[in-house]
Amino acid sequence: MKQKIILEWIKIIAGLIVFALGVHLTIYANIGLAPWDCLGMGLAKHTPFNYGISMTIIAITVLVIDILLKEKIGFGTIIDALLTGNFVQAFNSLNRLPENKSTWIGICIMLAGFVFMALGMWIYMSASQCCGPRDALLVGLGKRMPKVPIGIVEVLLWAVVLLAGYLLGGPVGIGTLISTFGAGLVMQLVYNIIRFEPRKLKHRDVFVVAKILMNADYPGSVDT
């Protein structure tokens, strides 16, 4: 069972690399960024940190909020917080293609980015070690506003994040609008094609996985 956990961590990292490639493509599209990426770029403009470190700081901050909201935290959540922004920064640094200046080509690149993001999420979520910090935050806020549809909660959260990013000088454009409404639609289309339903996953938090790794008295904790 321990080996299975380690393989799941490798799977999470692989999925985050694919996801990061997708985020990189949405940045390279150069037509405006999604709210969280806009915030990351805005923060990078006012600090000595690059985009990757800025996003890691944001993710860790959100992770702390998730813990305060008593949301389920898994190793997948922690790995996501620590690595995803830096993976995106690596892709940004390695890219040697000329700056895109076409809106239509940018839209196509951004849509391709959404596909990679959806596939990356599928890979790392299927390890069943919980979702990323931002998803946990959305769930936590949704629980505290039970009368408000989760979609509205998400829009309100994105609006606050986007406003903060815009005020910090993060890139906003048609891509921001496309990201806000299009990313979810592309993700749903991809998941329909590969027949993946994330709501059916049974996630294990850090305590459950830790018990398994320590060979504690937990079902399935014996090595196979």
Neighbouring CB atoms inside 10 A of 109's CB total 20
CA distances from 160 to 28, 94, 143, 151, 156 (A): 24, 31, 18, 14, 6
- 16 near 78, Cβ under 8 Å? no
Mean pLDDT over each residue of the chain, to the nearest integer: 90
Per-residue pLDDT tens over the stretch 202-213: 889 999 998 888
Q: What is the pLDDT of residue 185?
A: 86
Q: Note the helical H segments in the chain.
A: 2-28, 35-45, 51-68, 75-94, 103-125, 133-144, 150-167, 174-194, 206-213
In 3-state terms, what secondary structure has residue 140? helix
Q: What is the pLDDT of residue 46?
A: 94
Q: What is the pTM of this model?
A: 0.89
Per-residue pLDDT tens over the stretch 181-204: 888 889 889 999 999 888 788 889
- CA 35, 197, 14, 131 dihedral sign is positive
